[in-house]
Amino acid sequence: MSNCIFCKIATGEIPAEKIYESDGAFVIRDINPQAPVHFLAIPTRHYPAVHDIPQSEMASVMGALMDAVREAAKAAGLDANGYRLIVNSGDIAGQTVPHLHIHILGGRDLAWPPG
Ligand code: 5GP
Ligand code: ZN
């Protein structure tokens, strides 16, 4: 999508360090980290939110995203103690960038429930 910040990062129009990259997904550091480690795993293709992924693409999109999560979490040493994944999907969840992404949070104790 032409006016989407994560699409622009995906294509390289906006430079960002990609911690991990595959055909279907990539991982960057969140610009406003909420934990010592705060990454975003992002599908290369533009889907605004969870319900916008066609069923026929769901397995490949989520497979690519979860591979990206595991590789980035392991590279950051999060696999030893664990980490939290968050998807804000839609307005009520507080989604601010309408290009689906998974937050990866770790490196500190994480309270539950979230706000
Ligand atoms: P959401 O609120 O949609 O679940 O999460 C969007 C996240 O993207 C926020 O945590 C925000 O800090 C992050 N973000 C917004 N713009 C940029 C950007 O240009 N670069 C990076 N690396 N992160 C961004
Ligand atoms: Zn996009």
Residues less than 5 Å from ion ligand 2, measured at CB: 1, 4, 6-7, 46, 99
Q: Does the predicted model carry a pTM greater than 0.85?
A: yes
Active site residue 101: yes
Residue of 3, 40, 91, 102 with the most ligand 1 atoms within 8 Å of its CB, for mutation: 40
* Residue 96, domain CATH: 3.30.428.10
Residues in the chain: 115
Do 40 and 27 form a contact (C-beta atoms < 8 A)? yes
Tell me whether strands 37-43 and 84-86 are parallel, antiparallel or unpaired. unpaired
pLDDT of residue 115: 79
Please, what is the end-to-end C-alpha distance for the chain in angstroms? 30
Residue 115 in domain:
no
Per residue in 48-104, pLDDT tens?
A: 999 999 999 999 999 999 999 999 999 999 999 999 999 999 999 999 999 999 999
Residue 109 has pLDDT above 90, yes or no: yes
31 or 115: which leads in pLDDT: 31
Distance CA 31, CA 20 (A): 16
Q: Which of 12, 23, 24, 8 is closest to 97 using CA atoms?
A: 8
* pLDDT value for 16: 95
Ligand 1 neighbours (beta carbon < 6 A)? 5, 16, 28-32, 40, 88, 94-97
- Domain-embedded: residue 78: yes
Assigned domain for 10 exists: yes
Number of compact structural domains in the chain? 1
18-56 pLDDT, tens digit per residue, is 999 999 999 999 999 999 999 999 999 999 999 999 999
